[in-house]
Amino acid sequence: MRPQPGDLLRVDGRASVQFAGDRALTFRVVSVCPKPTYTGWVWLTGYVIDRRGQAIDRREIFVQLAGLRRAASTPARSGSRATRPYASRHDQGEGGAARGGSGVRPRADAR
């Protein structure tokens, strides 16, 4: 198999001994080095993909072409995230912070 940018691969001990056992990883190819290396080997640049389908580390790896396998597709990333990029007007309470005030009101029982 000759990988191409965008391919999702399972890289394990078949591709190189450094990825054997629990060191196996799922890898999204960004680029394939065109320079010649040892016959049957290639340098790949890409991202290690976690179980949620998110890129967690950019790496360059040297692997045997014969040992590369396509990975089962990872789950699609959902649109819901823990943070929201923009707060709405209604998220500002009574609007104090949005109007330039501090947005902090004193407690009724404060002295």
Domain presence at residue 60: yes
CB neighbour class for 9 (10 Å; exposed up to 12, middle 13-18, buried from 19):
buried
Q: Which amino acid is at 22?
A: D
Tell me, yes or no, whether 59 lies in a domain: yes
pTM score > 0.85 for this model? no
The boundaries of the domain holding residue 27 are: 8-70
Roughly how many angstroms between the first and final C-alpha of the chain, as a whole number?
74
Q: What is the pLDDT of residue 100?
A: 54
- Domain membership flag for residue 85: no
Amino acid at 49: I
Is 109 inside a domain boundary?
A: no
pLDDT reported for residue 72? 84
Q: For residue 32, what pLDDT is reported?
A: 97
Count of domains forming the chain: 1
> Using CA atoms, how far apart are residues 16 and 48, in angstroms rounded to an integer?
16
pLDDT in tens, the chain (111 residues): 899 999 999 999 999 999 999 999 999 999 999 999 999 999 999 999 999 999 999 999 999 999 999 998 755 555 545 554 555 555 555 555 555 555 555 566 655
